[in-house]
Amino acid sequence: MKGHYDEIIALPGFENVAAVQNDNVYIMSNGFAFAPHYPAALATMAKWLYPETFADLNPEEIHQEYIDTFFGIDFDVSEQGVFEYPQQGS
């Protein structure tokens, strides 16, 4: 994800984009954003765009609950997955 992020912000002309200048560029895996676990992706976007308003929202917790409830597999989203960049808390 970081490599893709770096490619995006390095595109010609992007040095003039306020989001790039202010370090407010975020990317998300298509498979995360447009899948049944969309509520976790939506929560992630809410935190990116309105961090003060959604300070108590934990997208990683929402995603982990989805994995645990509907997949029933041993998968820790914070340790084994990369779904967005920069990752929450980065």
Q: How confident is the model at residue 90 (pLDDT cuts 50, 70, 90)?
A: very low
Phi then psi dihedrals of residue 84, to 5 deg: -150, 160
Q: Measured between alpha carbons, how far is 74 from 44 in angstroms, rounded to an integer?
A: 22
Phi then psi dihedrals of residue 63, to 5 deg: -65, -45
**Please, which residues have CB within 8 angstroms of residue 54's CB and are 6 or more apart in sequence?**
43, 46, 47
Q: Judge whether residue 58 has pLDDT over 80.
A: yes
The predicted-structure confidence for 9-53, as pLDDT tens digits, reads as follows 999 999 999 999 999 999 998 888 888 888 999 999 999 999 999
Report the predicted TM-score, pTM, of the whole model to 2 decimal places.
0.79
* pLDDT of 41: 92
* pLDDT of 88: 64
